[in-house]
A and B are shown apart, each in its own frame.
Chain A
Amino acid sequence: MRQAFKRLGAAMLAGALILGTAVAANAETVLHRGNGAEPETLDLHKSTGVPEANIIYDLHEGLVVFSADGLPVPGVAESWDVSDDGMTYTFHLRADAKWSNGAPVTAGDFVFSLRRAVDPATGSEYAPTLAPIMNAEDIIAGTTPPDQLGAAVVDSRTLKLTLKAPTPYFIGLMAHHISWPVHKATVQKFGDEWTRPGNSVTNGAYVISEWVPQSKIVAKKNPNFHDAANVTIDTIVYYPTEDIDEEFKRFRAGELDMTYTVPTDKVKWAAKNMPKEYRNSSYFGTYYYVVNLTREPLGTDVKLRRALALAIDRDKLVDKITQGGEQPAYAWVPPGVAGYDYQQADFAAMTQAERDAEAKKILAEAGYGPENPLKVEVLHNTSERHRRIAIAIASMWKKTLGVDMTLTNQEWKVYMETRDAKQFQVVRAAWIGDYMDAVNFLDLFISTAGVRNDPGYTNPKFDELMAAAGVNPDPAARADQLEEAERIFLADLPIIPIYHYRNTTMVSTKIQGVIENVLGFHLSRYISKS
């Protein structure tokens, strides 16, 4: 009760202030964003989800940030030099980069923050993303102290990062919040509570001013931000919107300016009836089925896997079931990676009739028929989308191949455990890229990837190419190696790709500056509202 009263008091006080200043100031611009879920944490070294990232990218700024169209552009660093061997990056920080308390952002802040990110005591789940930096892996594993990280202060405005191998996507990685700075004194003073309104000191376009768990997070414009002159939204309110149907209703009722997503079964309606608000952009992810390679018969017979992959009519699936304009996938790495040619399995070029005919032939040759149907068990976690896709695929496999498919739906954590223990025959999965590079996808299936390698895929040739690409300083040759690796992977079919994701959202016509981009991040500083 006490908290409720305090909140009421604060609201009244704020009301009084607004009344007092309303005459002088222009009306405040407030952006209401549906943000999917309650953030698990706003600590940028610990957070992992998209709802968290949406807020973190507004509150903080890294060396590199995402532009309105999702490309990495200079942030706190105004420029950088890369050594000839591609192993040393020197960042020059801008002079007017400040924390929200007015203190300058220094190279020392970055060194402190990067060490904190990889320090085992922090318990960061995303720390392995920083593996390209010298010694990062050993520090995460606890065998090397954090101060051995390849990050050094040259002077207060110059930062030097040393890598263990050339990493062409390193600048893109610096746009991810795991590499971003936190305010040392604040973190040390408040511990786990440093992200709270009142405690939090950040260097982004906004500062957090209110956090009511499960209700809203409010952020106000940061006057100390170096580009504050171009920030037009004064206040952002992020709402956790767990029930996406209700989020959609709130948007239509004018309570939200932007939604987190659009319910699948409303996409067609939205596209038809609210074409100005409905947004559909490609998204850097792939939806797929994993085949357990350690289980007979699918795991040991690539032809059977091919038959199953062939018999999925992806065009029909995305048109009638998922309905969000998804792109049928015959590939693992989604299209749109700069310098990387989109690779597709050979049957991408066939018509569905040809695919079905070949699939039937394979199954007949393998001795399966009406009396002896192939039995497939598909595991998925509880979700409307996964359920509907599985039912549709079961129907296609049944109709074309006479396959007898059993669906098993498990609660999320049980599903994870079953999947990790490889207690499945086929399991649904999805992967969304963190940074725009093919490695981010292909890395999952090297034989040493451990539990991430769901199918249990091992192909020495694939491993060899991946290892070679990992140390190849020549971007073009490296891309060739990765492309070849993916071709080998697609021929082996340890997974059955189904579609590449699309990002569907609703954006009010009052909002400008939301530009479609593959990572799906829309920083509020680029947005304006009329």
Chain B
Amino acid sequence: MLSYAIRRLFGAVPTLLLLVAVAFFMMRLAPGGPFDKERKVPAEVLANLEKAYHLDEPLIAQFVRYLGNVLRGDFGPSFKYKDFSVTELIWGGFPTSLTLGGTAILLAGVIGITLGIFAALRQNTMVDYVLMASAMTGIALPNFVVAPLLTLVFGLWLSWLPVGGWGDSWTQGILPIVALTLPEIAAIARLTRASMIETLRSNYVRTARAKGLPERVAILRHALKGALLPVISYLGPAVAGIITGSIIIEQIFSIPGIGRYFVQASLNRDYTLVMGVTIFYGVIIILFNLAVDLIYGFLDPKVRYD
């Protein structure tokens, strides 16, 4: 297992290099540049700007320069937010996104798996229908509807909680966490239920029950372990996504996370910031998918890597 993990980590290097190369050239193929404005910049000034950011060099030279800088840990200055470097922006916002997203996914995991087990054990009863119908509603209502609804009801009409902001009071975290958690609870509960039903019918759980193991042990130790596989597969990329922030949640609640950079940096053609968040996200995706693969081996001893 350990040697597999180490091999995978080494394997991540070429993956990341390929990611950097594809992202870099794809980005530069897109029309528009960082200094395009409605208020036209005179040609001489544009030339000055491009020179200052080395955008006047041939693309391949820029790529080599960028790669060299990245290997030295320098992700460059942001083209849009000129007073900050890409590293500062990402490390400045990531703790916020991690706090929010981490809390949300933890809550969603615990609540979602519990509800999923409940529904599976009472398959086709009223409890099951009610739980799954509310889960479906959670999935059907998009974030950008739920979040403004929460601020309207709890922030403005009831005045129980702040409408937006971050860092002044812990109460500012409640609504965004709720908005992030709801759809994830729904997804996790549905996945857990489906695969739980399946494993409950499978031979080894039947055997465990037949052997006279207490129901709780049979369910938790045997059935749940097998049932968690698809949930874990789902959680890998889901956790990576949620801890790197959500532009919708951040804009609606005025939260200084990094989720907005994934969208805005692209729209602004903020080349260095786009590359920065792409690499950052790539690393996180690779790490979490590795973690998922390792957890497979723990949940199901039959899963082996060779």
Direct contact of A and B (CB under 8 A): yes
What would 5 more interface pairs be, CB under 8 Å, given A417-B36, A451-B40? A123-B52, A192-B83, A213-B89, A255-B163, A413-B269
Flag the segment in A102-110, A124-132, A464-472 that touches B.
A124-132
User: B19 contacts which chain A residues (CB < 8 A)?
Assistant: none
Contact A3 B256 (CB under 8 A): no
Give Cα distance in the complex from A46 to B250, angstroms: 27
What is the distance, in angstroms, from B146's C-beta to the closest C-beta of chain A? 14
Subset of 29 A-B contacts with CB under 8 Å: A41-B81, A41-B83, A42-B83, A43-B83, A48-B39, A123-B48, A123-B52, A125-B41, A128-B42, A140-B45, A142-B48, A192-B77, A192-B83, A212-B167, A213-B81, A214-B257, A241-B254, A243-B254, A246-B253, A249-B156, A250-B165, A253-B156, A255-B164, A412-B32, A412-B267, A413-B269, A416-B36, A430-B38, A450-B43
Give Cα distance in the complex from A299 to B225, angstroms: 71
A196 at the interface (CB under 8 A from B): yes
Give Cα distance in the complex from A241 to B268, angstroms: 17
Give Cα distance in the complex from A401 to B255, angstroms: 49
Give Cα distance in the complex from A411 to B32, angstroms: 10
Q: How many A-B residue contacts, CB cutoff 8 Å?
A: 149
Question: Known: A413-B31, A430-B38. Is A213-B44 also a contact (CB below 8 A)?
Answer: no
Contact B33 A123 (CB under 8 A): no
- Number of chain A residues whose Cβ lies closer than 8 Å to a Cβ of chain B: 57
Give Cα distance in the complex from A385 to B36, angstroms: 21
Contact A246 B89 (CB under 8 A): no
Question: Known: A3-B95, A127-B45, A450-B40. Is A414-B31 also a contact (CB below 8 A)?
Answer: yes
Using a CB–CB distance below 8 Å, which chain A residues touch chain B? 1, 3-4, 7, 38-43, 46, 48, 120-125, 127-128, 140-142, 192-193, 195-196, 212-216, 239-243, 245-246, 249-250, 252-253, 255, 411-414, 416-418, 420, 429-430, 450-452
For the residues of A in contact with B, the DSSP-based class is mixed
B206 at the interface (CB under 8 A from A): no
Selected contact of B38 from candidates A1, A43, A429, CB within 8 Å: A429
Flag the segment in B111-119, B147-155, B186-194 that touches A.
B147-155
Q: Which residue of B lies closest to A4 (CB)?
A: B95
Contact B32 A417 (CB under 8 A): yes
Q: Which residue of A lies closest to B95 (CB)?
A: A4
Q: Which residue of A lies closest to B152 (CB)?
A: A249
Contact B95 A240 (CB under 8 A): no
Give Cα distance in the complex from A1 to B98, angstroms: 10
Contact B52 A140 (CB under 8 A): no
Give Cα distance in the complex from A20 to B237, angstroms: 49
Give Cα distance in the complex from A242 to B96, angstroms: 18
User: A140 contacts which chain B residues (CB < 8 A)?
Assistant: 42, 44-45, 48
What is the distance, in angstroms, from A526's C-beta to the closest C-beta of chain B? 26
Contact B92 A213 (CB under 8 A): yes
Give Cα distance in the complex from A215 to B89, angstroms: 12
User: B92 contacts which chain A residues (CB < 8 A)?
Assistant: 3, 212-213
Question: Known: A192-B83, A246-B148, A246-B151. Is A239-B165 also a contact (CB below 8 A)?
Answer: yes
Selected contact of A215 from candidates B43, B47, B156, B166, CB within 8 Å: B166
Give Cα distance in the complex from A215 to B245, angstroms: 14
Give Cα distance in the complex from A128 to B48, angstroms: 13
Contact A195 B32 (CB under 8 A): no
B35 at the interface (CB under 8 A from A): yes
Give Cα distance in the complex from A142 to B257, angstroms: 40
User: B252 contacts which chain A residues (CB < 8 A)?
Assistant: 243, 246
B1-57 at interface with A (beta carbon < 8 Å): 30-33, 35-45, 47-49, 51-52
Q: Which residue of B lies closest to A125 (CB)?
A: B41
The 0/1 profile, CB within 8 Å of A marked 1, for residues 241-275 of chain B is 00000000011111111001000000111000000
The residue among A3, A196, A413, A430 with the most chain B CB atoms within 10 A of its own CB is A413
Give Cα distance in the complex from A122 to B159, angstroms: 48
User: B91 contacts which chain A residues (CB < 8 A)?
Assistant: 3
User: A215 contacts which chain B residues (CB < 8 A)?
Assistant: 165-167, 254-256
Contact B32 A414 (CB under 8 A): yes
What is the distance, in angstroms, from B58's C-beta to the closest C-beta of chain A? 21
Selected contact of B256 from candidates A128, A193, A212, CB within 8 Å: A212
